[in-house]
Structure 1
Amino acid sequence: MRKIYTIETSNFEQDQLHFSLNDNEVNLQLKPAGQLIADSDDFAFIYLLDAGEDYHYLRFPPSSWENLVHILQKKKDPILRISEEAIELTNFYDELEMLVYNIEGNYNYGAEFVQTVEQHFKAILAE
Structure 2
Amino acid sequence: MNLTMFFGKIKTIGGIMMNNTHFIIERIEDKNAFIKLCYLEKSFYLEKQEEEWIPMSRLLVDSDEKQLIYIVEVGQEWKYIRFPLSVWKSLDEVIAKEQDLFLVLSLTEEGEVHKSIPLKDFSQEGRELIRNMLNNMNYGEGMSSIIEEEFSETIK
TM-score using structure 1 length: 0.91
Identity of matched residues, %: 28
Which residue in the other structure is 2:135 paired with? 105
Partner amino acid for 1:98? Answer: E
- Off by >2 Å, runs of 4+ in structure 1: none
Larger radius of gyration: 2
CA distance in 1, matches of 2:154, 2:54: 28
* Distance in 1 separating the partners of 2:74 and 2:24: 16
Which runs of no fewer than 5 residues in structure 2 stay unpaired?
Answer: 1-18, 107-113
Bigger relative contact order, structure 1 or 2, given CA contacts below 8 A and separation 6+?
Answer: 1
- Taking a change above 3 Å as real, the CA distance of residues 97 and 27 of structure 1, as seen in their structure-2 partners, is same
Whichever residue aligns with residue 104 of structure 1, its letter is L
Q: Which has the higher helix share?
A: 1
The TM-score, its normalising length taken from structure 2, stands at: 0.75
What is the aligned partner in structure 2 of residue 33 from structure 1?
A: 56
The answer to which structure has the higher strand fraction is 2
Aligned residue pairs, count: 126
Contact 2:92–2:152 (Cα < 8 Å) also in 1? no
Q: CA RMSD in A?
A: 1.5
Quick one: which amino acid aligns to residue 59 of structure 1?
R
Local SS of the residue matching 1:27: coil
Gaps spanning 5+ residues in structure 1: where? none
